Structure 1
Amino acid sequence: MVAPHTPPPCNDPPDVAARKKDLRVHCMAALRAREVTRDQGIIHNLERLLHRSAGPVACVWPLPHEVDLRPLCHKLAEWGIQVALPQTPPRGTPLVFRQWHPGSTMLTGRFGTHYPDGPVMEPDLVLVPLLGFDRAGHRLGYGGGYYDRTLAALPHATSIGYAPSTQEVGHLPCGPYDQPLSCIVTEKEVIRFD
């Protein structure tokens, strides 16, 4: 994926940034403390949502504390759906998606991430890991702005956030560069937004 333009910096106003920072501490603790058995419900709901997907789907190779989407990656490949995984570029730029298949060689990326040694591709659908979310469709990530820049560079892609239901908060502050999601998937439900 190559962005047609350079998206603006994803800097939040100081008050929004401070509130997000506090919420990240709370949400990270909740994510680490979750019952990992919830993750299977998230995978199941994502499978139901994606089983008719036609175009490439961007998944995520998990960090140790994240929901493990590797079973979903394998299921999508079984169904003949192309899978892409993100390579994390230098800060300030969108993610680069590389084609993955079950036999792909995985390379070590930034921040402990892994990505396939495959060709660059542009996904039609992007799965977005969430630290937190609210019922208005706001999401909380790790704070690097990678997914905001990526979604801004892929305006026609469907974006689906996923997280355990324990990550829901009453209200998340929203910055000027936060990108909306098409829906959020938990182990309990699929929350759709217009």
Structure 2
Amino acid sequence: MNLADVKTAARKAAFTRRKPLFENANAAQAGYLSEVLAGHRGVSVSGFMPIRTEIDPRPAMSEASAYGDVGVPVIQAAHTPLRFARWTPDANMVAGQFGASVPAELNYFEPEILIVPLLAFDRKGGRLGYGGGFYDRTLELLRAKRGTMAIGFAFAGQEVDQVALEPTDQPLDLIVTEAGVIEIG
């Protein structure tokens, strides 16, 4: 089985594993994420608008927006890095690509911290995403300019022993779940 097939099978299994975690989630799922972001007040952050069965970072994003710029990713086109549009809790949102909402008014900036959605993660900072490579391209670009932190945000039950990685996969610096914070390295 080649790496692409391994990742396809891993994605299918991860979606199946995440569904009951999402169904049993409670309103406090972003508590630890709020604590982590509180330690970086005033630093620009990008979160994400949850789709499908993703954990919801919006409560932590709302808190962070009181102290600095918070944004959400905007897909420009396939095989390109993401851009980030400023977001506030009361922003007028419209449908973007792949079902994720984006602000109706796109005011772009470059965040220093990215809260990254995922399907699976390991304790070495490995991340299994959806396969489009958007976050990997974006992190590579931003990290070439300056220090950029990638925080994986997921349910604790999305942890696996090892994520199959490719040379282009960008590592996470920290993982936050509803159960706690996992330091990498």
With normalisation by structure 1, the TM-score equals: 0.87
Secondary structure of the corresponding residue to residue 73 of structure 2? strand
CA distance in 1, matches of 2:108, 2:92: 14
Aligned pairs (5 A) from 1:1-194: 15-38=2-25, 40-53=27-40, 54-78=42-66, 80-116=67-103, 117-155=105-143, 156-194=147-185
Q: How many residues align?
A: 180
Secondary structure of the corresponding residue to residue 108 of structure 2? coil
Question: Root-mean-square deviation (CA), in Å?
Answer: 1.6
Q: How far off its partner does 1:35 sit?
A: 4.9
Quick check: 1:42–1:163 contact (8 Å CA) kept in 2? no
| Cα distance change, pair 85–135 in 1 and its aligned pair in 2 (3 A) | same
CA distance in 2, matches of 1:35, 1:147: 22
Q: How far off its partner does 1:118 sit?
A: 3.1
Letter in 1 for 2:19: R
| Cα distance change, pair 146–15 in 1 and its aligned pair in 2 (3 A) | same
CA distance in 2, matches of 1:124, 1:87: 16
| Cα distance change, pair 36–130 in 1 and its aligned pair in 2 (3 A) | same
Unaligned runs of 5+ in 2: none
CA distance in 2, matches of 1:36, 1:59: 21
Secondary structure of the corresponding residue to residue 160 of structure 2? coil
Q: How far off its partner does 1:183 sit?
A: 0.7
Q: How far off its partner does 1:148 sit?
A: 0.3
CA deviations on 1:46-86 (whole Å, 9 max, x unpaired) are 111111322210000111311122222221123x2211111
CA distance in 1, matches of 2:124, 2:76: 30
Which of 1 and 2 has higher RCO (CA within 8 Å, sep 6+)?
1
CA distance in 2, matches of 1:112, 1:40: 22
Moved over 3 A (4+): 35-42
Aligned identity (percent) is 36
Quick check: 1:41–1:188 contact (8 Å CA) kept in 2? no
| Cα distance change, pair 84–35 in 1 and its aligned pair in 2 (3 A) | closer
Letter in 2 for 1:55: V
With normalisation by structure 2, the TM-score equals: 0.90
Quick check: 2:22–2:53 contact (8 Å CA) kept in 1? no
Unaligned runs of 5+ in 1: 1-13
